[in-house]
Amino acid sequence: TLFRSSPPASVEKPPRDPRGVNDYLTVDFSDVLAEPGSFHSFDKVWTWSDILFEATKLWCYRIISLLCAVPISLLNGFLFALVGCLHIWCAMPCIQLCTICMPPVRTLWASILDVVIAPFCASIGRCCSLIYLTVAKG
């Protein structure tokens, strides 16, 4: 045949989530539905419920991803390209500019602290050092 609907059994599919980004999304039938020991449905009802749950989950995901994957991929591609472009052409030049301009600003700020703020705080500390509080129970 010219076309195959599925790969041969010997060919293994590559993992689609090699880094385990969405490992928490693994949901099985037993994670959603469980019967306690005091309640049991018929065995066939439980088995068919499990089969229908898994099949419905699989096919609904496939249909929804068929309808949504391409537009959302286009949108995500655009957003990541925009963020990358802004990072490369706007954010990094601003960060480099700040890195270049910071030493003089740091020197100026240290001078302001040494000349204005430090003497003021020292004066307030000396004034307040003469205050004593005593607590009396009574």
Instruction: List pLDDT tens digits, range 88-97.
Output: 999 999 999 9
Which one-letter amino acid corresponds to residue 26? T
In order of 24, 115, 129, the CA distances from 28 in angstroms are 11, 68, 69
Tell how many helices (H) and how many strands (E) occur in the chain. Answer: 4, 0
Chain centroid, CA 27 distance in Å: 20
The whole-number average pLDDT for the span 28-57 is 84
pLDDT of residue 35: 78
pLDDT of residue 4: 54
